[in-house]
């Protein structure tokens, strides 16, 4: 199956069967377009159904060399996996060459939290002459203590 037919079928699948938004569909198609760009640049004269896991591993090196952030690389790899799952579902291929692809490890950061002193400052700024503030204040203290752990 040629690239144009594969991409056209994938687009229809994303729209009709997955009910994705236009923006999501375009993101998936761009991901597959990156794979096609790689195939053209590297002069790999193969249709998507004939690419191997080795080709896809080389593709990962290719997108890494483009200087893309790990998060962007992971999204592209996810799009390629979805494309190959579609090809399997349509019985165009029998084995998934993307099955063993590894996404880059994404750095996780802890959320910014208020210090105990900052929470005390917020609570002390409550106008206690307001009767609703008096009723709410114990609830906020309880919530803040739970939030602090």
Alpha helices in the chain (DSSP H): 3-16, 22-41, 53-65, 70-89, 116-124, 131-148
Q: By the 8 A CB rule, do 112 and 144 touch?
A: no
What global pTM score does this model have?
Answer: 0.71
- In tens, the pLDDT along 112-149 reads 887 888 877 877 776 666 665 555 556 656 665 656 55
Tokens 């709410």, located at residue: 136
Cα 21 from chain centre:
15
**What token pair was written down for 101?**
């692809």
Q: What is the CATH number of domain 3-89?
A: 1.10.150.130
Q: By the 8 A CB rule, do 48 and 6 touch?
A: yes
**What token pair was written down for 11?**
């687009």
- In tens, the pLDDT along 2-36 reads 999 999 999 999 999 999 999 999 999 999 999 99
């Amino acid at each position: 199956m040629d690239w144009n037919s594969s991409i056209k079928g994938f687009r229809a699948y994303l729209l009709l069967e997955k009910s994705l938004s236009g923006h999501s569909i375009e993101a998936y198609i761009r991901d597959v377009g990156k794979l096609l760009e790689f195939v053209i640049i590297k002069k790999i004269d193969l249709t998507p159904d004939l690419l191997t896991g080795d080709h896809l591993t080389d593709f990962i090196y290719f997108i890494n060399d483009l200087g893309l952030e790990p998060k962007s690389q992971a999204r592209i790899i996810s799009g390629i996996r979805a494309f190959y799952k579609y090809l399997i579902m349509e019985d165009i291929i029998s084995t998934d060459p993307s099955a063993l692809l590894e996404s880059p490890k994404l750095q996780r950061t802890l959320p910014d939290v208020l210090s105990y002193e900052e929470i005390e400052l917020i609570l002390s700024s409550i106008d206690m002459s307001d009767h609703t503030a008096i009723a709410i204040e114990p609830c906020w203290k309880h919530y803040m203590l739970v939030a602090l752990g």
